[in-house]
Chain A
Amino acid sequence: MRLNKSVIRIFLSLFCFWSSPFLFGQNEQEKFVLSGSVVEKFTGEPLLGVNILILSQENGTFTNEKGVFSIELQKGPYQVRFSALGYGTVQKEIFLERNMTLNIVLERTAENLEKVVIEENVERQKIDEPQMSVSTLTSETIKQVPAVLGEVDVIKSLLLLPEITNTGEGSSGFNVRGGSAGQNLVLLDDARLYSVSHLFGFFSIFNPEAVESVKLYSGGIPPRFGGRISSVLKIDQKEGNKEEFKGSGGIGVVSSRLLLEGPIIEDKMSFLVAGRSSYAHLFLPLFGLDNTAYFYDVNTKLSYELDENNNLSFSGYFGRDVFEIEGSFRNDFGNTALSVHWEHEYSENLVGNFSAAYSRYDYGLDLAFVGFVFDSGIEDFSLKYDFQKEFSNDFAIRYGLGTIYYQFNPGKIEPSSDSSGINPQKLTDKYALEGAVFAEANWDINENISVLGGLRFSAFNRLGQDYLNTYENGNPIIFNENLGIYQKAEPTGQITYDRSESISLFSTLEPRISLAYQLNSKSSIKIGYQRMAQYTHLISNTSAPTPFDVYAPSGKYIEPQLSDQISLGYFRNFEGFSFSAETYYKNTQNLLDYIPGADLIANNAIEQVLLSGEARSYGLELLFRKTTGNLQGWISYTLSKSEQRTPGRNPAEPGINNGEWYNSPWDKTHDISVTGTYRLSDKWTFGANFIFQTGQPATFPNGQYELGGLVVPVFGARNSSRLTAYHRLDISATLTPNRNEGRSWQGEWVFGIYNVYNRMNAASISFGQNEDTFENEALKLSIFGIIPSVTYNFNF
């Protein structure tokens, strides 16, 4: 009951904040800024969402994700109360006659409750802020969502939210508002990640132990982000505990994880190291198999508070997948990401953020039975600096610039032994420099209207490389009208450019704006528009990306992708509930498509198989969320359409699919998720998910023919059929034993059942000949039937 009361209080104070006359600035009296930070006593971690209440004023604010708050007040005496659910309350009396800083330490009062309050403010709707189309999940929520094989999964949890989907169980990547997987910007702290999947998509690469929160922007994307046109997935790693040495971890069916954190210099510097690894491969030798298949990842973070005005952090991520069939096949791939972030407070209301990052994705394949080794990858170095300046409580700006240097390695082939018949070959490396300047403002125009808007100017310089093919009329792909097929054009020559030369230069002005109109203290309407540009392209001709897909830069033959999106939403908070309804329309230009039979792997002239098309998507997303109480969770429903087309370049050409619109592989008309957790007692917590989705688009044959011993299917319009509807129910129960009380080792057992009623959902339907009867048949592939699991989690 205490819980509910506190929650209501937070609600009330939030609304009070908005109805306060203070905001109108009627008074001419001198104003000062009261700012500071709130940290947790034992961990030293910044506390988010602490309620700061100015008692005499019925006025207040909250701390942000860095535990920092700031409020402008008139000169005078105040009583300031700091409170957060699950923490003791601290009250301070101050006399404000100049700008003042308060650093507050809050102590935990009851175990486990603090997590709730953090979620409270992060995950619920912020009706007053113009930012829309953003979804946040905390590590705690992610851990409560029942998962296949008990493997808690960041991306799979996000799939339960309205705007995000994928191409089915066990597929890699994710799709936001109809966009392809290669259109998502994934940032781990400040570094870009190029692949988000382990085991070809069965698990995502983020160790939930090391993740503080994930935030997905699908619309109204702030100008400080750019480079990908569909979404921004921002994953913040946890900061190490600055007060004492702590650990946590879990032992699961597929993988186990361990996190260690603690102070290096008490109160000043902390470290965090988290590791996760699968271990099924350890048992393969027991079956006499010299094969192996495993993944692992390591997350690290070093946080250093130099002084009151300077915070420094270093983050590192290293993840890898390895598959090996003894003596004949080895495949390994993964991301490496390193970043440094320096936050400097110039003054009370001017903060500078510097970040530098290095990111690399590489893919290696050793096909010993064919006799070659193949390596490919992409690397980038980025620098970014921005300023956050707060002029008043009503007006703040953020501006800055950033640059990224890319190096693309489309592949290198080498013979793996002396007896190999393979010739060494290096596909031409490509280089590019991307830059952007941006400025955004967050302005509360009046009591009801606030706006977040700005401009991003991005530019992309494709730098010189060796051996760039030239073609007659600059056309690398020709249409053979006689045969009715696209063919690769014969290069007329090759140009080698100096590294410092520019082959092509692109630039885009990307306006972004979101506007919130507050109808009353509990509801608001928001509208947003964004234009985004993407200069690097994931070259992938499959429904979901594969580990060996390469990125290619825009240049002479590939134009940047551009997308425009408008979104409109209604947001409402009830006591303990929030509701949102959003609609959007998104249009994408210069989307790459591939001619039939295009060979994308180790292709040194990829331009010979590319055509340019467009995509459009639109939808309605409803989210009803309960964020307090013993029962928490949400219901989401999405009605959407996502399609693309690639018309011929002139009337004589058919383009792809005869130039007609066709469904994206991830187009699902209806998508419903219900997810909930119920806390029965201190001992037991239960969770459940139910998911229903329209079956994925598929292309079924509408005929067959025989040719030289082959049975060839005849396909009609692309993606014009559908698999059967997808649905399943997952449940979990978490047992926290009583004996945890009063000891440092805290353990819990999570029992889960994925797909409780064992629905054999179709992941695909493939058409082929039966091996015995040689008759044609359709085979439905189901990936996960009912799967029970047990996981043990611990903290110490």
Chain B
Amino acid sequence: MKIFKYLLLVSILLFTSCEEVVMPDLETTEPRLVIEAVMEKEIFDNGFGYRSYVRLTLTAPYFANQVPVVENATVSVTDENGQVYEFLYDENGYYYPANPIIIENNLEYTLKIVYENQVYTTVQNLAETVPLLYVEQNNDGGFSNDVIELKAFFEDPLGEENYYLYAGLSQKGNLFDAINDEFFDGNQIFVFFSLDELEAGDEVLFRLMGIDREAYNYYFSLLLQTEAPAGPFETQPATIRGNIVNQDQPENFPFGYFRISEVSVLSYTVE
């Protein structure tokens, strides 16, 4: 439960704090490969849509405006049956499969990336999700009672451990969360979207992605690093390692993750 932010919000609001942009001297480490490998099966009203991509980039100095992209790697996914899907470079670090991958349940997929003569691999399965049902809007949220809050509801399956990666996307900003059903197993529950700037007419896209426990731990840790407030309540910064292994030089591990998710999507226009 990430309640830090609410508490910090309350405590900061009470006092005469102020923020100022500063430029501390930062060191920069050797560039490291970053792999964002995603295969998604999207639930439509009458069927499924499939989308797969791999984005390869390198780490950059913290204040750099963009990250370097990797254009010359070899990327492929092989399923358990030996079917190989080659990925081709497009632009901005993105590689797409030459032929669409129809993701099947209970089938293992092996990601293989060859970059600078080193081989990076991992194996994943599809993690299922449940449909997003409807959105509820509340116009008097937040500390000042005038912030728009949205809740998108879904029905969690009973009697099994379920994990979700949630993304709420809008022109005003995005929100992410890693969720497990420990406290609401089998119930109807919601994902939450609220931004101070949100107003009528804005479109919000809710995405609820199925992930497994390992991916949940990864995204939970990752989000702690990107979202947690600094200051007395700050969590300890850490290096968050993903599920992709450098087979040649394990210590030269890549950042990033390979996940295969079923996704449910709901679009909502703020009233």
Contact = CB atoms under 8 A, between A and B. Distances in A.
Interface string A404-433: 000000000100000001110100000000
A787 B229 CA distance: 25
| Residue from the set B4, B23, B27 with the largest chain A CB neighbour count within 10 Å | B27
Interface string A471-493: 00000000000111101100000
A707 B144 contact: no
A597 B34 contact: no
A200 B14 CA distance: 11
B221 to A, nearest CB: 3
| Residue from the set B187, B229, B238 with the largest chain A CB neighbour count within 10 Å | B238
Given A601-B1, A701-B26, A778-B22, A485 B241 contact: yes
B102 interface: no
A712 B257 CA distance: 13
Interface stretch (A216-224, A324-332, A386-394, A677-685): A324-332
Contacts of B241: 483-485
Interface string B1-33: 101101100110011111111111011110110
Contact of B29 (A323, A425, A706, A714): A714
Contacts of B220: 597, 599
B188 interface: yes
Nearest to A370: B192
Contacts of A779: 19-22
| Residue from the set B15, B141, B229 with the largest chain A CB neighbour count within 10 Å | B15
Contact of A597 (B156, B185, B186, B238): B238
A149 B11 CA distance: 16
B29 A782 contact: no
Interface string A517-553: 0000000000000000000000001111011100000
Contacts of A367: 3, 6
A782 B20 CA distance: 8
B266 interface: no
A784 interface: yes
Given A331-B10, A423-B187, A597-B220, A542 B18 contact: no
Contacts of B218: 597
B255 A712 contact: yes
Interface residues of A, number: 94
Contact of A199 (B14, B149, B183, B222): B14
Contacts of A370: 192
Contacts, number: 266
Q: What size tier do the contact residues of chain B reach?
A: 35 or more
A484 B236 contact: no
Nearest to B181: A423
Contacts of A778: 21-24
Nearest to B155: A421
A484 B20 contact: no
Interface stretch (A30-38, A122-130, A165-173): A165-173
| Residue from the set B10, B61, B141, B185 with the largest chain A CB neighbour count within 10 Å | B10
A352 interface: no
A168 B192 CA distance: 33
B1 A421 contact: no
B62 A703 contact: yes
Contacts of B19: 779-782
Interface stretch (B42-50, B63-71, B108-116, B124-132): B63-71
B240 interface: yes
| Residue from the set B14, B29, B174, B224 with the largest chain A CB neighbour count within 10 Å | B14
Given A170-B232, A765-B230, A596 B4 contact: no
Interface in A764-779: 764-768, 771, 775-779
A107 to B, nearest CB: 47
A709 B174 contact: yes
A353 interface: no
A542 B233 contact: yes
Nearest to B23: A778
Contact of B7 (A200, A291, A482, A698): A200
A718 B237 contact: yes
B233 A703 contact: no
Given A703-B60, A716-B27, A781-B230, 11 more contacts: A323-B7, A370-B192, A423-B184, A596-B239, A700-B24, A706-B34, A707-B222, A763-B17, A765-B230, A784-B16, A785-B16
23 contacts: A167-B232, A293-B10, A421-B190, A423-B183, A425-B182, A487-B214, A541-B235, A546-B7, A546-B233, A596-B239, A699-B237, A700-B27, A703-B29, A707-B222, A709-B174, A711-B226, A712-B226, A765-B22, A765-B24, A768-B226, A771-B173, A782-B18, A784-B15
Interface of B: 1, 3-4, 6-7, 10-11, 14-24, 26-29, 31-32, 34, 36, 38, 55, 57-65, 67, 138, 140-145, 149, 156, 167, 169, 173-174, 176, 182-190, 192, 214, 217-218, 220-226, 229-243, 245, 250, 253, 255-257
Q: What 4 pairs across the A-B complex have the smallest Cβ distances?
A: A597-B221, A766-B230, A596-B238, A421-B189
